[in-house]
Amino acid sequence: MTAFVKPARYSDGEWQARVQLAACYRMFARLGWAELIYNHLSLRVPGEDDAFLINPFGLHYSEVTASNLVKVDVRGNILGHSDWPINPAGFTFHGAIHQRVPDAHCVMHVHTTPTMAVCCLEEGLSWSNFYAAQLWGQVAYHDFEGITVHLDEGERILASAGGKKVLLLRNHGPVVMGATLAQTFNLMWLVQRACEVQLATMSMGRARPIPVPVMEGCVRDSLNFNPKFGAGEDVFAAMQRLIDRDDPGYRA
């Protein structure tokens, strides 16, 4: 693998965060979760609670690198130099979440077909499959208000989330927030897979619901968030190895 040198302008902590987030953008591209130049994944800068990293608006996820990620403060001001702007629709709720939710170090938003389709259903997510069961008690909803470019909606999105890790924007798409990049990636994976299976089930007939006590047990037993099994870090590391093998340019 080509060796990439850390630019002197970044601290070790910020550079590591940049490398990890850039890798995640390439993972999303590999999984087919990109949306042209739209949607956004953000990550707090270690040691700087009022600053986070987000994708340059105008680049495809496969073009995002550690050094071209944009550093912004929670008010939307770009910190340092950037050749690219940020997506106003991304900042609206990413900034509000990073500013007001202490343990939301990472925030992800996608428009994949399965997740958007479920967000468009009146009943939302169906508690009827293996993946959804692991999300029991962690899902909230926010009514559609149009394109998220108005800052005051950020406060309403926070209120709708109510401390839940997964917020389904009705008629729009999911917002997932977590304490680490790896945890948030795993949450998004569960949301995506739950929605994929739900749509497949609906095409065949009526879904069989899972009893609440069983879902509560699934939440307790989920390996995705169990520190004994890496708490998602092992999954992220495995995906990063694939990216390093096939697409290591994200480290630049």
At 224 the pLDDT is 74
Sketch out the chain's domains with CATH numbers: 12-251 (3.40.225.10)
Residue 38: strand, helix, or coil: strand
List Cβ<8 Å contacts ≥24 apart for 200-209. 201/126, 201/128, 201/129, 202/126, 207/126, 207/128, 207/129, 208/128, 209/126, 209/127, 209/128
Q: Can you tell me whether residue 41 is helix, strand or coil?
A: strand
Chain segment 89-147, per-residue pLDDT in tens: 777 889 999 999 999 999 999 999 999 999 999 999 999 999 999 999 999 999 999 99
Beta-strand relationship, 166-169 and 139-142:
parallel
The confidence score (pLDDT) of residue 149 equals 85
* Position 34 pLDDT exceeds 80: yes
* Dihedral sign computed on CA atoms, order 20, 26, 30, 36: positive
**Reduced to 3 states, what is the DSSP secondary structure of residue 248?**
helix
Q: Is 49 helix (H, G, I), strand (E, B) or coil?
A: strand
Residue 1 in this model has a pLDDT that exceeds 70 = no
| Contacts with 153 (C-beta within 8 Å, 6 or more apart), sequence order | 92, 93, 145
